Structures are given as C-alpha cells and as structure tokens.
Amino acid sequence: MSNRPSNPRPMTAQQIEDAARSDSDAHPLTPEDLRRMRRTPRAKLIRRSLGLTQEEFATRYEIPIGTLRDWEQGRTEPDQPARAYLKIIARDPEGVRKALGAKYG
C-alpha cells in the first residue's frame, strides 16, 4: 500500500494566482525590487557551465582576465562584438577552442 497522496486536482491559472497572492511569504516583485536586483552576467553563466575558473576561461578564449572580471562583477558590460563572441562560445565552446588553435588547456 502506498502512502503517496492522490493526484492533486488541476488548478486554473486564476486559482494558482489567487493561491500565490494569499501566501504572505510570496509577494510579487515591485519595479523598485527589479531595479535593485543584480542579474548574473552572461559571461559568468557560460564560464560556470563549462566548469572553468576565470583564469582558465580567459586564457582559453583569449579574453583579458581583467575584462572578464569586470563583466562578471558588473563593473562593465560586454560590447556588441563581445556579446556575439560569448554567444558563439556558449553554442560551440570546442569549436571556438579549435578555431583559436587549441593551444590552451
């Protein structure tokens, strides 16, 4: 005999929203909340998904370490060409590594 509860009844979108709004711990974010929240920079997400340290990522993809740190810490934003390069790294990290000559670990 299983102690698992039976399948819950499906809820409508309105019921879900009403339940969420009635939860005192679940307040919707205000525009002010969104302005002060920091997003994780894309470079950091890509680097972490590859399991690389900042130094390894910077060396492998020929990005100055100071530039990478500035991006990751939100001091500066990558310009459009750098964003395009990061997108290519995210889609094909080994292809970029090979294109650069695979001279880096």
Q: What is the pLDDT along the chain (105 residues), one digit of tens a residue?
A: 556 656 677 888 888 888 877 888 877 778 888 778 766 679 999 999 999 999 999 999 999 999 999 999 989 999 999 999 999 999 999 999 999 986 555
Query: What global pTM score does this model have?
Result: 0.61
Note the pLDDT of residue 69: 96
Q: How many CB atoms lie within 10 A of CB 89?
A: 21
How many angstroms from the chain centroid is the CA of residue 51?
14
Q: Which residue ranges make up each domain of the chain? A: 13-99
CATH code matching the domain that covers 13-99, chosen among 2.60.40.10, 1.10.260.40, 3.60.150.10, 3.30.950.10? 1.10.260.40
Determine the Cα–Cα distance for residues 57 and 5; give it in Å rounded to an integer.
Answer: 47
The 3-class SS string of 41-88 reads: CHHHHHHHHCCCCHHHHHHHCCCCHHHHHHHHCCCCCCCHHHHHHHHH
Determine the Cα–Cα distance for residues 80 and 76; give it in Å rounded to an integer.
Answer: 13
Contact 52, 41 (CB under 8 A): no
